[in-house]
Amino acid sequence: MLTAEENERLTRVGAGTPMGELFRRYWLPALLSHELPAPDCPPMRVRLLGEDLVAFRDTNGRIGLLAEHCSHRRASLFYGRSEESGLRCIYHGWKYDVEGRILDTPAEPAASMLKHHIRQPAYPCQEVNGLVLTYMGPPDKMPLLPNYEWLTLPGEHVIVDSKFYNECNWLQALEGDLDSSHLPILHRRGEGLAPPMPLSVTFETQITRWGVKAACVRPASEGCRYIRTNVFVMPCIGLPPIVPSVQGVNDGAHAIYQVPADDYNVWRYDIVARRSVRIADVEAHYAGPAAVREDPGRRRYNYMDEVGPGSRKIANRANDYLIDRDKQRTSIYSGINFSNHTQDACVTESMGPITDRTEEHLGVGDTQLVEIRRFLLDALRDIDEGRDPPGTVIDPEDNVYPDLFMVDATLPLSAPWTDRESVMAHAGPTPGD
C-alpha cells in the first residue's frame, strides 16, 4: 500500500503539484478533431490538469488552446467569436490568435501599446489521426511528439474509438485498465452464471525506460503457458492486447489514455491502430460492407452509444449505472448491460473521487500496479531533482518507437514473452481460439 503522502503526490495534478508538473512535460490529448469540425466553428470548453481552457479552430484550420478568461476583464472566451484567424472576446473585442498574441483591441486608442505587452496564456497543439494533443509545460522543455504507431500510421489505419468523461481520479482509472485479474470476473457474461472459480494465475513484469510491461500467466497444455500482456507507458497510457494477432503478437495497438481533467475527474481516450489492414477492412470483416459507417464518431470499435452530452456516460453514478439485478443473477455478472468501459467506470468511480490507498490490501493480481506506482514515484523524484522524466525525448535521433508489442498466445515454458521474435516463432493458439 502507499502512504498518505505518496497517494497525494500521485493523484493531485494542479499547477505546482508534483504530478501536475510531471504531466505538463508530456503531449496529452486535449480534444478530438471532430469536436471542432470546421474553420471558425464555435469554440469549446476544455478542462485539463485543473485548468479551464477554450479551444477554437481559426480561419486557416489551426487549433488554439487558450486560458478561458480574457486577459482584459476576465470574461469567458467560450462566448467569443471565431473570426478572421482569431478568437474575439465579446466584451470589449480583444482578439487573440492561436498563440495567444493580441491582434486587436478596438476599445483602445489606435496608438495603444497594450496589445504589444500582454499575451493570453496559450498552449501549443498538434493534430494527428483525429486527436488534438497539447503540451502545457515549460517551452524550453517541450519534447517531440512521441513516435507511437497510432500517431504515425496513415489515418485509414487508425481510429479514435471513444472518449469518456469519468468521475474519479486519473490513477484509479489507469490502474483499472491495467488490471488483468478482474477480466474473467467483472466482465463475465453468459446464461446461468456461477460464482467465479479460483484462477491459477501468476504475474511477471519488465521495467523499461518508458514504463512497465506485465504478463498475466496461466497454465495451458503440458509444457506450455498462456500469456496475456499489457503495457503502461508514461505518463497515463495503458495498452491491453487486441485481436486479431499475428503469430501471437498484436497487429497494432489499442492505446488508452487517462488524461486528468482535474483531481477528481478524468478523460478516457481509446485509440485503435492496425498495422497491416485498414480500419474499414476490419469493420467489413466483422459486420459486412453494408454495415460500415463513415461517421467518425460511430464505428464497430466505438462505444459512443454509451455516451451522452459532454462525453458523459449514459449509465453513470447518478443512476447507479442502470444496474439490472435480474440480469446480474442470470446472465451479466456485474448486472451492468453496457460494455466493459461502463463496467470499469462503475468500479473505479465507486472507490470515491480519490481512493484512500492506505486502506488497501493488495494481492498477487496487483503486481503490475505496485511496479507502476514505484515507476511514477521515481519519475516524480526525477522532477524534484531536476532530471527529465522518462520518455520526454527532445533529440530526434532518440525518438524511436519503443517495442510495445502485446502478446496473446500460448508459449512453451522456455520461450520468453519479452522477445517478439521468440513469441512469433513459438506461439500456439490462445484459449479463446
The predicted model gives 24-44 an average pLDDT of: 97
**Residue 217: CATH number of its domain:** 3.90.380
Per-residue pLDDT at 191 exceeds 80: no
In a domain, 385, yes or no: no
What are the cell numbers at 416? Answer: 520468453
Mean pLDDT, the chain, as a whole number?
89
Contact 240, 161 (CB under 8 A): no
The predicted model gives 400-406 an average pLDDT of: 77
**Whole-model pTM?**
0.92
Same domain? For 160 and 203 the reply is yes
In a domain, 79, yes or no: yes
The predicted model gives 275-301 an average pLDDT of: 57
Which among 141, 168, 200 is the end of a domain? 141
Per-residue pLDDT at 324 exceeds 80: yes
Phi-psi region of 362 (alpha: psi -120 to 50; beta: other; left: phi over 0): beta
In a domain, 346, yes or no: yes
Same domain? For 66 and 209 the reply is no
Q: Can you give the pLDDT at residue 293?
A: 42
Same domain? For 176 and 286 the reply is yes
Give the strand order in the sheet containing 81-83: 81-83, 86-88, 95-96, 102-104
Phi-psi region of 50 (alpha: psi -120 to 50; beta: other; left: phi over 0): left
Containing structural domain, residue 34? 27-141
Contact 280, 274 (CB under 8 A): no
Q: Can you give the pLDDT at residue 9?
A: 97
- pLDDT digits over 339-371, tens only? 888 999 999 999 999 999 999 999 988 999 999
Same domain? For 279 and 418 the reply is yes
How far apart CA 226 and CA 219 sit, in angstroms, is 6
Q: Can you give the pLDDT at residue 251?
A: 82
The predicted model gives 312-323 an average pLDDT of: 94
Same domain? For 43 and 85 the reply is yes
Same domain? For 52 and 124 the reply is yes
Same domain? For 243 and 344 the reply is yes
Which among 141, 166, 199 is the end of a domain? 141
Q: How confident is the model at residue 299 (pLDDT cuts 50, 70, 90)?
A: very low
Q: Can you give the pLDDT at residue 96?
A: 98
The predicted model gives 381-401 an average pLDDT of: 88
Which among 112, 141, 170 is the end of a domain? 141
In a domain, 175, yes or no: yes
Q: How confident is the model at residue 291 (pLDDT cuts 50, 70, 90)?
A: very low
Same domain? For 128 and 172 the reply is no
In a domain, 15, yes or no: no
Same domain? For 255 and 305 the reply is yes
Per-residue pLDDT at 285 exceeds 80: no
Same domain? For 135 and 173 the reply is no
Q: Domain count of the chain?
A: 2
- pLDDT digits over 119-176, tens only? 999 999 999 999 999 999 999 999 999 999 999 999 999 998 789 999 999 999 999 9
What are the cell numbers at 191? Answer: 446464461
How far apart CA 400 and CA 164 sit, in angstroms, is 30
Q: Can you give the pLDDT at residue 183?
A: 85
Q: Can you give the pLDDT at residue 140?
A: 95
Percent of the chain with pLDDT over 90: 68
Q: How confident is the model at residue 303 (pLDDT cuts 50, 70, 90)?
A: low
Per-residue pLDDT at 271 exceeds 80: yes
Same domain? For 131 and 249 the reply is no
Buried b (16+ CB within 10 A) or exposed e, 67-91: bbbbbbeebbbbebbbeebbbbbeb
Q: How confident is the model at residue 409 (pLDDT cuts 50, 70, 90)?
A: confident
In a domain, 397, yes or no: no
**Residue 91: CATH number of its domain:** 2.102.10.10
How far apart CA 55 and CA 87 sit, in angstroms, is 10
Per-residue pLDDT at 294 exceeds 70: no
How far apart CA 104 and CA 269 sit, in angstroms, is 36
Q: How confident is the model at residue 431 (pLDDT cuts 50, 70, 90)?
A: low
Q: Can you give the pLDDT at residue 180?
A: 84
Q: Can you give the pLDDT at residue 290?
A: 43
In a domain, 391, yes or no: no
- pLDDT digits over 327-340, tens only? 999 999 999 998 88
Same domain? For 297 and 272 the reply is yes
Q: Can you give the pLDDT at residue 304?
A: 61
The predicted model gives 417-433 an average pLDDT of: 78
Per-residue pLDDT at 28 exceeds 90: yes
- pLDDT digits over 220-268, tens only? 888 999 998 999 999 999 998 876 566 677 788 899 999 999 999 999 9
In a domain, 292, yes or no: yes
Q: Can you give the pLDDT at residue 269?
A: 96
